[in-house]
Amino acid sequence: MSLSTSSRSAMNRDAMRFAVRGTVFRMDPSGTSHFEETTDPAAAYKTTLTAGRITAMGDRYATCGDEHPHFCSQCGKPVKDDDGNLVTIGETCWRQECPRCGAGWSMRRAIPIVSKIESLRKEIASKRGDSPKFHHLAVRMDDFRAARDADDAFFDVVKAAVDEVGVNVHGGAIIHHSYTGDNEDHEDDDLGKWKERVFEGRDWEGDVEDELKEWHHAHVIVLADHIDHFCCESLFDRTGIFVHRIQNEDDDNNVSIYGKKELAEVTTYCLSHARLADDADAYRYFGAVANHSADHRIEAMCKEIVRSVVPKTLDLQLPESELCSRTIAASEVDHIPAVVRGPSRDSEAEDDEIDTDESDDDQQDDQGDQKDRQDDQGDQKDRQDDQGDQREEDTEQANEDGLDGDDSDEEQVTNIDWEAADAPKSGDTPVKCNGRLVPLEFAPSFLDDPDRNLAYEDELREAYREHPVQETLDEHTE
């Protein structure tokens, strides 16, 4: 059973029962309160939550990390350093349990979570004129037991608890944590120690496991108008279900999450030590967020924001690029998107950080007149107005939570003209190729494909010929 499955009937949900601290409750989301105490004997509820391990504390594929030369799947250009030598990139499995790739799993799973929540926020704001806000909640139930799969039931109860204490809850993501830090020198869930635990070089048995204690709780990233503190207190008094809205470290305000950058930080951090399980049991979407498809430009922007925070939250140093970064004439590019970079605020970060014009007016512009999109002078003015509108939206979000301020994401990223992808191409216009990088071992399938027009076919053929591990060179030489 999954929270994202719309076919679940209300009857099945209403029939669900669970025990917290020896008391059995019936979950009824249709009532004034979602939970009703019953007289059922707690002894019948014996299934407990699974602790297992955490992200990056599993087995590693034998080939994970093996170095391979790469080339661009679009233009065929081999990746080389300044001296003309092939650059090798480690093979990545992207699995949650992998000691090498667990942090990368956290980054990749955070991208759709952040994108879907931010995209839905903007969609709602465009329809009703004001914006719901991001909230970070912790939900805990001591001695949680169920008659069926407790891990599955846990997500259902957390979702219902958030619905009860929230005002206009639009959904979000629930991340299951099975441990907390067992360290008296640290407070607030041992925050300062997690980065030291979840990366390659640490073992589970006799190492990280000894620093933790089993303590099941959920971190919930929520899009809602408001989380009612008094409802949280009432729910705990009646049921023992503890819902805590985590506020920003600044004690002078009650803001939970300021904007997209902090949303990305919270999400990647929470995923970094989620319970090790199939994705559906490590985290789940709920509410309208579950079935929402993010606008493609918002998704691209959120991807770069997530990538910009992972050195801090995951101690993850990303390669310079996963895409071909060659600057070429637009006439050489036969794929979309071909993006045109504007002036960079930070030249050192230009390749890794991207900003987009992602206001509501921008989304409308996508369906607007082609003539308007081609008017460079008008576009520049629109982008300036849109950036101002976005700052106002983010300021409103902070103001409504009790703080004057704006989202600092614009200071973290560079400008990009996304509409240039739709405009007629000029042979003199510089663009980034942005083709995905592919291991050199797959070069034959690209070289033998008559439908591919590789601008650097000869260079790719030569790189493949010279690569020492290839054994079928004769089939791919002229």
What is the pLDDT, as a whole number, of residue 2? 38
Per residue of the chain (478 residues), give pLDDT as tens.
334 443 344 444 446 899 999 999 999 877 778 999 999 999 999 999 999 999 999 988 888 888 889 999 888 999 888 888 888 888 888 899 999 889 999 999 999 999 999 999 999 999 999 999 999 999 999 999 998 899 999 999 999 999 999 999 999 999 999 999 865 444 444 556 777 777 667 889 989 999 899 999 999 999 999 999 999 999 999 999 999 999 987 667 789 999 999 999 999 999 999 999 987 789 999 999 999 999 999 999 999 999 999 998 988 887 655 677 777 665 554 443 333 333 333 333 333 333 333 333 333 333 333 333 344 444 444 444 444 444 444 444 444 443 333 343 433 333 333 333 334 444 456 667 778 888 898 899 999 998 888 889 999 999 998 886 544 434 444 4
Secondary structure of the chain as H, E, C letters: CCCCCCCCCHHHHHCCEEEECCEEEEECCCCCCCEEECCCCHHHCCEECCCCCECCCCCCCCCCCCEEEEEECCCCCECECCCCCECEEECCCCCCCCCCCHHHHHHHHHHHHHHHHHHHHHHHHHHHCCCCEEEEEEEEECCEEECCCHHHHHHHHHHHHHHHHEEEEEEEEEEEEEEEECCCCCCCCCHHHHHHHCCCCCCCCCCHHHHEEEEEEEEEEEEEEEECHHHHHHHHHHHCEEEEECCCCCCCCCCCCCCHHHHHHHHHHHHHCCECCCHHHHEEEEECCCCCCCCHHHHHHHHHHHHHHHHHHCCCCCCCCCECCCEEEHHHCCCCCCCEECCCCCHHHCCCCECCCCCHHHHHHHCCCHHHHHCHHHHHHHHHHHHHHHHHHHHHHHHHCCCCCCCHHHHCCECEEHHHHCCCCCCCCEEECCCEEEEHHHHHHHHCCCCCCCCCHHHHHHHHHHCCCCCCHHHHCC
Give tens-digit pLDDT for 428-438: 566 677 788 88
What pLDDT, on the 0 to 100 scale, is given for residue 429? 63
- Structural domain boundaries of the chain? 10-56+97-313, 69-88+440-478, 319-355+414-435
